[in-house]
Amino acid sequence: MAEAPRAAFQACVRTPFATLGITATDTHLTGIRFLTPSTPALAPKRGTIAHLACVQLQAYLDNGRFEFDLPLAMSGTHHRLAVWEAMQRIPAGATRTYGELARDIRSSARAVGGACGANPIPVVVPCHRVIAAGGDLGGFMGERCEGFERNIKRWLLEHEGAL
């Protein structure tokens, strides 16, 4: 996990699994980065998209079935956008395999995995709900799911009641 300076974020939210660095424009959420748990919180300016994102992330932390309703600005290839859109249709408490998602959008499981790893807005765009066939957690944060990454993915899925 590469650490970025706090100044790169409009807000930093402490969670049980990491600190989330929030980036946003005046109109859209543009990114969430997993930072070390020791990264201090940074309160957003009230009335901003970053503030709205923090409020909704707290609602999610209070209730794993909370449904996000944030304006998102995501840029990527046509394929990545299709995968990210498909992930947003996976309800909290449910999972899909890379292969199932690939069939839905006429792609390959490996390409879906690559798009999941490139997701710029994790948690809100729930790449953690995409798992490997046979119930294995699969990857997370662009890495084979081990250690820190595995703990985050497992925490999110348990919090939503999917494990």
The CA-CA-CA angle for residues 131, 128, 45, to 5°, reads 170
d(CA 145, CA 29): 26
Closest by Cα among 18, 11, 13 to 34: 18
Closest by Cα among 73, 13, 76 to 39: 13
Catalytic residue, from 12, 54, 116, 127: name it: 127
d(CA 33, CA 22): 7
- Six-digit token string for 1: 């996990």
> How many helices and strands in the chain, by DSSP H and E?
5, 7
- Six-digit token string for 124: 């809100």
145 is catalytic: no
Give the position of tokens 């402490």: 14
Half-sphere CA count of 21, side-chain side, radius 13 A: 17
Positions marked catalytic: 127
